Structures are given as C-alpha cells and as structure tokens.
A and B are shown apart, each in its own frame.
Chain A
Amino acid sequence: MRLLALALRRCLWMPPTLLGLTLIVFSVSHIIPADPARVLAGENAPYEQVEALRRKFGLDKPLPEQFVHYVSDVVHGNMGISLYTQRPVADDLVERLPATVELALFAIVLAVLLGLPLGVVSALRRNSLLDHVVRVITIAGLAMAAFWLAMLLQLLFSMHLNLTPVQGRINGWGPDPITGFYTLDALIRGDGETFFTALRYLTLPMLTLAIPAMATIVRFTRAGVLNVMRSQFVFYQAAMGLPRRVVIWKYILRAALIGTLTQIGLVFGNLLAGAVVVETVFSWPGLGTYAYNSILQSDYNAIMGFTLFTGSVFIGMNLLVDIAQAVLDPRGR
C-alpha cells in the first residue's frame, strides 16, 4: 500500500515537472537568434518565401502564443511536425527509438556485468595492486570524452585489428522490423548470421557507452561495499563466526547494492538520453543523431520532442529506482 502511495505521489509530480522542462527548453531554444525558416528556405530564397514558411509553421506568432499552442498540442498527443522530415515528431522518435534502446540495453548489461564484480573485488582487496588498477581504469573511463574514446576504439578495433566495422548499425539495410531490435529480430527469425553481424556493429558504440557507465558502477559499488564493511552488523556477523563468504554475499552486498541500483537506473536513463555524441560518431541511426541533426537545423519541434522524451525517461527511471529502493530497503518507504 505504501509502495502504491509512493508511486502515485511520484506520478502526480510528472506533469508539473514536464511542464517546467518544456518551458525551460522552449525558452532557451527560442531565445537563441536562429531562424529555421531562413535555413529551411535556403540561401537563395527571397524574403517573401521565408515569411511564407514562418507563417506556415507559426513562427511569426508571439512566443507566449507559440508556447501555449505547443503545450496544448502536446496534451492532445501531438508533438508537432518536424520542419525537416515533415513528419510528426512522435513518429520520428518512435521510429528511431529501437536503435537507441538496443544500444543502451547492451551497454548497461555489459557495464553491470563488469562493474559490479570489479567494484566488489576492488573493495574487498582495498589498496591492493588490483584495487589501484581498477581505480585508475575507472577514473580514466569517467574522465575520457566520449568522442575521443570512440575514435580510439575505432582506430584500435576497426583499423588496426580489423575486428569491427567503423560505423553503422548493420551492413547494408537491416532486416524487416519485428521489434526494431536487429539482434532480437534476428533471433526470432533464427537468422544467426544477421545476429552476429548486428553484434559486430554494436560492439564499438556499446563499449564507448559501457566504459564510463561501468566506471560509475564500479565506484559506487566499491564505496558502498566499503561503507557497509565498516558497519557494526558486519562485525557482529563476523564475530558470530559466520563464514566470510556468507557475510559478503548475504549481508554486505545486499546492503551495499542499494546505492548502486540507484546509479544503474540513472546511468541507464543517461544512456537512453545522452548518446548523442556516440551515435553521431558511429552513424548510429537512433535518437541521438536525430537530436544532433535537429539542433544543427534549428528544428524546434524536433528538439522539443526529443527533450520531452528524454525528460520523461529520466522521470520514469527515477520512479522505478525509487520503487526498487523501497522494495529493497524498507527504511525508504
């Protein structure tokens, strides 16, 4: 019952949060003195043509009126038409979502699979050579800019080792979509060749996203484990004569991983929303490249749609994380 109340309370906060987000993004994107109508019309276009485009897209109206109009449309499920693709922004986002979700899922799974054990081992062997190495790697993983890491991986794996392609999501065109996830669709069809090809194309963007994500998970896991290891109940369990293995797996990890779980949720939200650079470098046809092109072309509706989507993802992930925390840790209810 308390969990339900928590979820409802969080859901009630969603609309005002999204409205605030919309207002901020709308203001920022419209304050920048860009003119999508001029860019869309082209450099040879006469002023009359630019004005006609402004009228057509409602860009000639006062900003408050444009904002009210936009919010009213969004409430009715209409995120507007992209100036460039000439399609509903919602359709564009839905079309590109599978590519981004597939990439983010692979990256987070890899980051968790590597990050959790490394964080635990690093904490248990504190100040050992292994711990120092892990710490150096995690700091490097966090400090390295995504585009730089991406290029290093391209040079190493694609150019020198010739193991992966440089860019793209698949060789040629993907299979006809069932779910839109190439790997899953290939498995459903029993097409092993496409599955492994898709995996090869996934490798570099996945690694670029997974390395900093893994670094975050390692650091939070390590800190959490170290913190719990200093707790009195751990000393008590040890004093009771419980085997170290049981103390670690049953008591330390369960308590330590609550904080890590929160981070995993937030990192996954970041991967879904913040892969703009990585998708651009690897020509990955997802939401990130859509956002990048929209910004370059001052496609207001597309920018707003992307921001609303990512805002919703973050709010949704926070809600899930809060619920998961409440389930694992009764103190949070």
Chain B
Amino acid sequence: MSQTDGPTIGRRGVLAGGAALSMYASTAEAARIRYVTANNNPYDILDPHQVFDIGRIAIRLNMYDALVRWVDNPAKLDLWLADKVEISADGMTYVFTLRPNVKFHDGSALTAADVVYSMERILGLKKGAYGLFSDVVKPGSTKALDALHVQFTLTKPFAVFMAVLSELWVVNSKVVQSHVKDGDWGAEWLTRNEAGSGGYRLRRFDPAIGFQCERFEAHFMPWGPGAIDEADFRVSMETATRVLGMIKGEFNTTDGYMPAEQVERMKASGNVWFKEAESIRTFYFIINHSKAPLNDINMRRALCCMFDYDGFNNNILGGTVVRNPGIIPNPMWGAPKDLKGYSYDIDKAKWYLSKVTEKLRPIQIGAMAGYPQSEQAAQMLQAGAAKAGLEIKVVAEPYTTIAPKLDDPDRAHDLIPLWRSAYFADPHNWTGYLFNSRNFKGGNASFYKNPRIDELTDQALVITDQEKRRVLYEEASRILVDEAVGLFVNNTKFYGPYSKSVKSVRFCPIGDTQDIRWIQMNS
C-alpha cells in the first residue's frame, strides 16, 4: 500500500518544492488552510514530559521536535533535530550533531544545552517517558560538548536507545527555567503553555475544548503547497458525535480505529474517504501465568484453540484487522514470516484440556468496559470454552480498575483482552517489555518467566546489528507461541477518516497521521 493517497510529500519532495514557496506565500494569506480534528481523549496537559501516551501525541508531534522522528510505514527512524550521530563501538556513548539554525518558537536558537536540560527534566520529573530512559541514563550524565554537539553516556548498552530518543522532546530551557516554581521544573507553567520548536506553535489552549496551533514558518523543515496553516485539535468523547461531525463536515478527521459499523456509516455518506494501512497495534489476551491451572502449558494451548479467530476478525470486526499469530505485529521486523499460530479447533482444545495436570476451575476474563472489541473477544472465548467444557466468567471493568491489578499477580484477572500500542517501532516494544521477567510490575503483566526468553531479549538489547537482533526476536516469538504465553489474535488496521478537502496524508504507525506537517489540503 502506498504511503500516501495522492501526491507524496516526502522530505525530498518538500525540498524540491522549495522554489514554489515564495509563490505559495503570496497566496497563503488569501486562503488560510484550516484543519479540524476530533480527538477521543482529553487534551488536558500540554507538557511533553509529563505524559507519554498515544491519545495526546498530537501535542508532542506538532509543537515539539526530538533528535529523531518516526516516519512512514513500516516505520523508519529519521534524523530530525540531529544531522549526524556517532555511536561508540561498545554502544555506550552517543554523540549527536544538531542541525544548525534551528529556532524555538520565541526565535531563540535551539542548542545542545536545551537537549541536556530536556533529558534532565524527564529524569527529574519522573513522569511521562521517564521509564524509557531511567534504566540507562543517569541524571547529570548527558553533556553539551558545544552548542551543536550533545553526548549521552549510557550505563549499559541499550540497542533501542535511538528508538526511544523519539520521546526526548526538546524544550526551550531558558523559557522553562524562567517559570520554575519551588523546583517544579516549570511543570505548572508548561502544563498550559508550550516552549517548543515544532512545526506548529500554540495559539490557544482550553483543556475543556482542546488546542489550536498555527504554522511556524521558521521551522527548519521547509513547507510545501497545501500545508496546513492552522489546526484545531478538539476533544469529542462520544464516538457517534465524532462520526456525525465527520459526515456533516465539522471535522476534517478523527480517530482511525473506529468500530467497523461506524467506518461503514462514514463510507456510505460519500463525504469521507479513508486512509487504510496495517498498523502495529496487536490485540491479544494477557494470560496470568502465576495462577493455576494457567501455569500449565496444556491449559494455555487449550485456551488458544478455543478462540474463533476467523469468526472474530472477519465476521465481528468485518475484516478491519489482520490475523497476527504472535505478539510482534506482522509488518515489524522480528516477527517470523512463517510463524504459525493456533487455530480454532474445539477437539484439539478438549485434547489439551485432558492433558492438564492442574485442577481445572472456572476461568475469569477481565474485559475492558467501554471497549466493545475487548468485551466481544471475551464473549467469543467464553463461547468456545463452553463448547470444550470449560467454564469462563466475563467481568467488564474500566481500564483504571484493571491497570493497578496488572502489577499484582494475585489480584490480576486470569485473562485480559487488550491492545499493545506502538510507542516505538522496535520488537522490544512487544517482546522485551511484555515478557522479560525483569519487567514484572512494569510491562510483564503475564508474570511469565522463561530464562531463555530473558536471555534472548536481554541479548537483543545490547547488540546494535539489526539482522542479529532479528534472529533473536524471531526465536523468542516462536517460543512465545509454542508455549502459548498469550492468546494472540490480530493486528489492527488503521482506517483514518478524512474529509474530501484533505488531499493526502502520510501514515506512520507511531502517531498514525497526527503529525500534521505531512498533510496536504485543498485551499
């Protein structure tokens, strides 16, 4: 599938279009291009270092820059604020050369000191992306060698360091420091203001409504024709309202993971077109290995054979997803291409059940209330289990109730159907975080421990050669499926709805299409 519908606006294209900029500028005032998006998450805080979620990613992508940035699908990491990077042979030291002449929104120059301050701020606040860095970057270890060179010295090799640097959003250190109160790292001020260098700068913010930003003409990345002049990011929590708003033309876009019936409804209106792409957001059941009989491999394999994958993916979800036999999404490197997952087979499930040595008991699924797919998947497994003679109870709870239980094996449900979103495009985001036993109480909610998986995922974190890492993750993937560590169901497809005035978008599974600098609209 092509990255864009309509003309592509890659970096080369943008640069080549530089000659057209002056002509564009003369017409820009006549017809400002305005873009309105409806978000199903509140924009209640603007600080890029206090939150680290997908729901508010538009704030970070559009008003801030990082050293690197994810683009395209499959996602690739481009140097962004950085011009060059040198990595020491032991993988412990990274020296970045910054682009010259990068400006913050107040016109001051972005320097290595700002990068250092941003890293220290993340480590000091202990919020947002802190968990990505805390293990390998110690406070005070990041140095500005001069105005354009910054050096990170890690405590140990960390192969995904470049990948997670996409979350090191650089703030204007002078501006933020001038608003520090009681050693709060300027947190109170940056909650409602911005101090970035991104493609768009803040015009208005109201946590009840959302935020409005306008194009930052002096951004280092040139703008092409059709680029958005100003954008409204509005909060609209109700799905039906967002759908009606799209059909009526009140919004130019909204979330790209709508239920199938809502996608059909928008398609039928004729006012909305869709950008379709396979994403990297897998849906699976967490299995709690700490509780018998789920610690028995035959029990887990039986469960995997009780789920009607085709019925769920193709009938209930109308083919808006793709079967994903393992935890790593199909398009991601590290996912074995020949991986064969489980299939719906009640006789086989019964056979596995007969081999379970632990005493059978009713199994409880904690479905996520308010997420129909989670509840439907739970019911589908319940129906399959009933055919195999196993009783399953389904309890629907909001995520806020489920989340704390993920840290506690005794309180955690037996199974939880949920998604694993992509925070960075590396197999570690799935295999390492979710199944390395080091991550109990912080990622590994299965409470699964396998020394071989630990070894493979630890090893994959210290070597930088992607081909060698691929081999390790592929082996890990096979083990996870063989041992039925989770019940892996599908990979999500992105169905981004757009109004007819939007000519083209550029999809990247990290942030979907919320990086609006790549969007082209009719004036």
Binding site for B on A (CB under 8 A): 32-36, 38-50, 52-53, 82, 84-87, 92, 95-96, 99, 151, 154-155, 158-159, 165-169, 172-173, 280-283, 285-286, 289-290, 292-293, 296-298
List 22 A-B pairs, Cβ < 8 Å: A39-B399, A41-B131, A43-B443, A44-B442, A46-B134, A48-B134, A49-B126, A49-B134, A84-B42, A85-B191, A86-B188, A87-B192, A92-B207, A166-B244, A166-B250, A167-B244, A167-B250, A168-B234, A281-B241, A283-B237, A285-B208, A296-B398
Bound-complex Cα distance A290 to B192 (A): 16
- Check B234 against A44 for contact (C-beta < 8 Å): no
- Check B411 against A283 for contact (C-beta < 8 Å): no
Binding site for A on B (CB under 8 A): 38, 42, 44-45, 47, 50-53, 126-128, 130-132, 134-135, 187-188, 191-192, 204, 206-209, 212, 232, 234-238, 240-241, 244-245, 247-248, 250, 398-401, 403-407, 411, 423, 433, 439, 441-443
| Smallest CB gap from A40: residue in B | B127
Contacts of B250 in A (CB 8 A): 165-168
Partner of A166, one of B128, B192, B245, B401: B245
- Check B126 against A85 for contact (C-beta < 8 Å): no
- Check B50 against A34 for contact (C-beta < 8 Å): no
Contacts of B192 in A (CB 8 A): 87
B323 to chain A, nearest CB (A): 24
Contacts of B207 in A (CB 8 A): 85, 92
Contacts of A155 in B (CB 8 A): 244
Among A46, A151, A173: residue with most chain B CB under 10 A? A46
Bound-complex Cα distance A40 to B47 (A): 13
B255 to chain A, nearest CB (A): 14
| Smallest CB gap from B47: residue in A | A86
| Smallest CB gap from B404: residue in A | A35
Bound-complex Cα distance A290 to B206 (A): 12
Partner of B400, one of A95, A167, A296: A296
Partner of A84, one of B45, B240, B398, B401: B45
Bound-complex Cα distance A39 to B209 (A): 22
A276 to chain B, nearest CB (A): 11
Partner of A49, one of B45, B131, B206, B235: B131
- Check A283 against B241 for contact (C-beta < 8 Å): yes
Contacts of A298 in B (CB 8 A): 400
Partner of B131, one of A44, A92, A96: A44
Contacts of B401 in A (CB 8 A): 32-34
Contacts of A166 in B (CB 8 A): 241, 244-245, 248, 250
Of all A-B residue pairs in the complex, the 4 with the closest CB atoms, nearest first, are: A35-B404, A285-B208, A47-B441, A46-B442
Contacts of A41 in B (CB 8 A): 127, 131
Bound-complex Cα distance A159 to B248 (A): 7
Partner of B127, one of A38, A49, A85: A49
- Check B232 against A85 for contact (C-beta < 8 Å): no
Bound-complex Cα distance A41 to B403 (A): 11
Known: A46-B131, A168-B250. A285 touches B206 (CB 8 A): yes
A83 to chain B, nearest CB (A): 10
B64 to chain A, nearest CB (A): 18
Contacts of A159 in B (CB 8 A): 244, 247-248
Among A44, A167, A292, A296: residue with most chain B CB under 10 A? A44
A47 to chain B, nearest CB (A): 4
A183 to chain B, nearest CB (A): 17
- Check A86 against B398 for contact (C-beta < 8 Å): no
Contacts of B44 in A (CB 8 A): 82, 84-85, 293
B442 to chain A, nearest CB (A): 4
Partner of A167, one of B241, B403, B441: B241
Partner of A172, one of B128, B232, B405, B443: B232
- Check B234 against A283 for contact (C-beta < 8 Å): yes
Among B52, B208, B240, B423: residue with most chain A CB under 10 A? B208
- Check A50 against B407 for contact (C-beta < 8 Å): yes
Contacts of B236 in A (CB 8 A): 167, 283
- Check B127 against A53 for contact (C-beta < 8 Å): yes
Contacts of B206 in A (CB 8 A): 95, 173, 285
Bound-complex Cα distance A48 to B133 (A): 13
- Check B237 against A44 for contact (C-beta < 8 Å): no
Among A34, A95, A283: residue with most chain B CB under 10 A? A283
Among A43, A167, A282, A286: residue with most chain B CB under 10 A? A43
- Check A297 against B191 for contact (C-beta < 8 Å): no
- Check B442 against A282 for contact (C-beta < 8 Å): no
Contacts of A283 in B (CB 8 A): 38, 234-238, 241
- Check A158 against B400 for contact (C-beta < 8 Å): no
With A47-B442, A168-B250, A281-B240 already in contact, 11 other A-B pairs whose C-beta atoms are closer than 8 Å: A33-B404, A43-B403, A49-B127, A49-B130, A86-B45, A95-B206, A155-B244, A165-B248, A166-B245, A167-B236, A292-B237
Contacts of A172 in B (CB 8 A): 232
Contacts of B134 in A (CB 8 A): 46, 48-49
